């Protein structure tokens, strides 16, 4: 078996009397993008901060490349990079100055720092911004600088806490592409509360709810849990609930305002195809049909129910 890059065993942490995370056990032994998915307050940032040595856990151990981060934090942190939710930027520095400073506090040899700064600026698309003051950068470029400081020392493991938070759609796409490129040469773990983020980026997902892991698996396995089970349909000649319930594959019907109805089904796209076929035959005049996506709350409920039954 390959050596663990990161190993978390029995991690629990509480603030005052309230437990933020309980009995977390995770292990990474390969490259790729690993997602920590959960609603705000689920415990993601606590896990990230403990793993990176910012917080001492109440219980449990974390090793980076076999090094206990509590017993030997300086040595362990040589192998990791960290981007907190609020990037640790110095607004009065320009980009090049800040990255030089970041390399220094990573204890890189002075002779290696100029080349490392040039390389990471190029990798993160910052070369043309090297003399721009950080306080004058857009949100997307600030995030790029934050990511650059986390990888300047070429770590084997990078932790990104909500890396696309607050960015516009174009900036999100750019940062996602940058994360994919980083994952080609190191292991990335990112936290997010956005379902689409893990679906777009991650190879493996841990879902956190109330400080505990409720799901651990690959993206295909995860998608099976969040497969939609309802659709919205609009009819000009609206059928009755009983008529819709008689359509093969339909398991439930809910009447909504106007011409709309919510239809629950057992299989997609067979249910939609059957609904269209019956609508044409019975002249219900179906004018719109839209698949409903599962919300993260619905996924939490489903996973929590499965966990309690196991």
Report the C-alpha gap between 70 and 55 in whole angstroms: 10
Question: What burial class does residue 258 get, using C-beta atoms within 10 Å of its C-beta: 0-12 exposed, 13-18 middle, 19+ buried?
Answer: exposed
- Please tell me whether residues 42 and 11 are part of one structural domain: yes
- Please tell me whether residues 243 and 215 are part of one structural domain: no
- Please tell me whether residues 243 and 173 are part of one structural domain: no
- Please tell me whether residues 181 and 273 are part of one structural domain: no
- Does the bond joining 269 to the residue before it have cis omega, within 30 degrees of 0? yes
- Please tell me whether residues 114 and 190 are part of one structural domain: yes
CB 12 within 8 A of CB 55: no
Which tokens in the block code for residue 129? 């911004």
With respect to residue 59, please indicate whether it lies within any of the assigned structural domains.
Answer: yes
**Residue span of the structural domain in which 276 resides:** 230-293
In this structure, the number of other CB atoms found within 10 A of the CB of residue 267 comes to 13
Inter-helix orientation angle 139-151/169-182, to 10°: 10
- Which of 181, 200, 225 delimits the end of a domain? 225
- Please tell me whether residues 196 and 135 are part of one structural domain: yes
Report the C-alpha gap between 253 and 40 in whole angstroms: 32
With respect to residue 84, please indicate whether it lies within any of the assigned structural domains.
Answer: yes
Read off the CATH number of the domain in which 257 is found.
Answer: 3.30.70
Instruction: Please spell the DSSP secondary structure of 64-130, one letter per residue.
Output: ETTEETTTSHHHHHTTEEEE-SS----TTSBHHHHHHHHHHHTT--GGGHHHHHHHHHHHTT-GGGT
- Which of 177, 204, 225 delimits the end of a domain? 225
- Please tell me whether residues 119 and 265 are part of one structural domain: no
Read off the CATH number of the domain in which 55 is found.
Answer: 3.40.50.300
pLDDT in 10s for each residue of the chain, 310 residues: 557 899 999 999 999 888 999 999 999 988 899 999 988 888 999 999 999 999 999 999 999 999 999 999 999 999 999 999 888 899 999 999 999 999 999 999 999 999 999 999 999 999 999 999 999 999 999 999 999 999 999 999 999 999 998 888 899 999 999 999 999 999 999 999 888 888 889 989 999 988 999 889 888 787 766 667 788 999 999 999 999 999 998 999 999 888 999 998 888 788 889 999 999 999 999 999 988 766 666 666 666 565 555 5
CB 160 within 8 A of CB 84: no
CB 213 within 8 A of CB 50: no
With respect to residue 214, please indicate whether it lies within any of the assigned structural domains.
Answer: yes
Closest among 107, 189, 102, 96 to 149, alpha carbons compared = 102
- Please tell me whether residues 172 and 284 are part of one structural domain: no
Q: Per the structure, how many domains does the chain have?
A: 2
- Please tell me whether residues 99 and 179 are part of one structural domain: yes
CB 4 within 8 A of CB 28: yes
- Please tell me whether residues 184 and 104 are part of one structural domain: yes
- Please tell me whether residues 86 and 181 are part of one structural domain: yes
């Amino acid at each position: 078996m390959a050596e663990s890059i990161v190993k978390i065993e029995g991690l629990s942490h509480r603030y005052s009397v309230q437990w933020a995370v309980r009995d977390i056990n995770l292990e990474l032994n390969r490259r790729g993008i690993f997602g920590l998915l959960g609603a705000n307050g689920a415990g993601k940032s606590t896990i990230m901060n403990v793993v990176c040595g910012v917080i001492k856990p109440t219980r449990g151990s974390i090793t980076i490349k076999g090094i206990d981060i509590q017993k030997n934090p300086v040595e362990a942190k040589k192998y990791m990079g960290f981007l907190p939710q609020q990037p640790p930027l110095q607004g009065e520095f320009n980009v090049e100055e800040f990255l030089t400073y970041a390399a220094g506090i990573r204890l890189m040899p002075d002779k290696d720092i100029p080349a490392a700064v040039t390389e990471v600026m190029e990798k993160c698309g910052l070369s043309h911004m090297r003399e721009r003051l950080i306080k004058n950068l857009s949100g997307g470029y600030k995030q790029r600088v934050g990511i650059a400081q986390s990888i300047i020392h070429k770590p084997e493991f990078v932790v990104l806490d909500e890396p696309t938070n607050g960015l516009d759609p174009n900036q999100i796409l750019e940062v996602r592409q940058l994360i994919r490129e980083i994952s080609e040469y190191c292991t990335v773990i990112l936290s997010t509360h956005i379902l689409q983020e893990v679906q777009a980026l991650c190879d493996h997902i841990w879902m956190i709810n109330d400080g505990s892991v409720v799901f651990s698996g690959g993206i295909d396995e995860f998608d099976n849990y969040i497969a939609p089970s309802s659709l919205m349909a609009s009819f000009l000649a609206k059928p009755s609930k009983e008529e819709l319930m008689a359509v093969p594959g339909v398991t439930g019907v809910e009447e909504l305002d106007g011409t709309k109805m919510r239809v629950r089904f057992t299989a997609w796209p067979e249910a939609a195809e059957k609904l269209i076929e019956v609508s044409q035959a019975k002249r219900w005049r179906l004018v719109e049909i839209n698949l409903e996506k599962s919300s993260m709350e619905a996924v939490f409920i489903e996973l929590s129910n499965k966990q309690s039954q196991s």
